[in-house]
């Protein structure tokens, strides 16, 4: 089989979000690549029915409660998530609808400077295509939670980690009062 055809098929199959209403695939982060330096693959960090520590803002608590759930291309529920499906799911739990695809999520809310990022903000990265092709949710203390590649699970990583810092393309704040309050 022609190498170009195989390569093209692999790129189309590796999407961060499945084909949405636009019909365009959104690339998943670093398909088939090793974990970023300093990152570790985590087994599920919660037993069924347990929750993150109390006192966290509800949005962050919800995002952290699904750590360990496997990546699933096109996934947007607890059976598996891709990056944009994960943030869409978390925001939807608080009555805020987000578009399904990364490039559309990158236009939601207002743009904020890297130094202004706080818990609940969307953080975007350029992974396998130009512009925003991966999204995560800032949780504070220089960390974000996201659903990485097909071999990953929902996990927490550092925004200043060398892999992510070099690929950061922007952040957006979705202004909704119910997103930042505690339950």
Rounded Cα–Cα distance for residues 150 and 18 (Å): 13
Rounded Cα–Cα distance for residues 42 and 153 (Å): 7
115: which DSSP letter?
G
103 is catalytic: no
Rounded Cα–Cα distance for residues 132 and 169 (Å): 6
Q: Considering the candidates 28, 100, 134, 155, report the single residue annotated as catalytic.
A: 134
Rounded Cα–Cα distance for residues 131 and 121 (Å): 18
146 is catalytic: yes
Q: Considering the candidates 25, 83, 138, 159, report the single residue annotated as catalytic.
A: 83
Positive or negative: CA dihedral 87, 89, 95, 97: positive
The token duo for 29 is 């982060």
Q: Within 13 Å, how many C-alpha atoms sit on residue 63's CB side?
A: 31
Rounded Cα–Cα distance for residues 102 and 86 (Å): 11
Rounded Cα–Cα distance for residues 79 and 177 (Å): 28
Residue 143 forms beta bridges with which residues? 140, 158
Residues annotated as part of the active site: 83, 134, 146
């Amino acid at each position: 089989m022609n190498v170009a055809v195989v390569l093209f098929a692999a790129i189309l199959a590796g999407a961060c979000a499945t084909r949405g209403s636009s019909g365009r695939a959104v690339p998943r982060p670093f398909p088939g690549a090793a974990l970023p330096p300093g990152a570790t693959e985590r087994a599920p960090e919660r037993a069924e029915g347990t929750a993150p520590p109390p006192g966290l803002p509800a949005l962050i608590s919800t995002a952290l409660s699904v750590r360990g759930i496997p990546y699933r291309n096109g996934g947007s529920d607890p059976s598996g998530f891709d990056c944009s499906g994960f943030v869409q799911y978390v925001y939807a739990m608080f009555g805020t609808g987000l578009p399904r695809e990364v490039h559309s999520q990158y236009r939601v809310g207002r743009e904020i400077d890297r130094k202004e990022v706080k818990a609940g903000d969307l953080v975007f990265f350029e992974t396998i295509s130009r512009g925003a092709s991966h999204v995560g949710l800032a949780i504070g203390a220089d960390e974000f939670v996201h659903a990485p590649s097909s071999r990953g699970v929902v996990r927490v990583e550092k925004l200043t980690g060398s892999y992510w810092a070099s690929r950061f393309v922007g952040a957006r704040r979705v202004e909704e009062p119910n997103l930042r309050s505690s339950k």
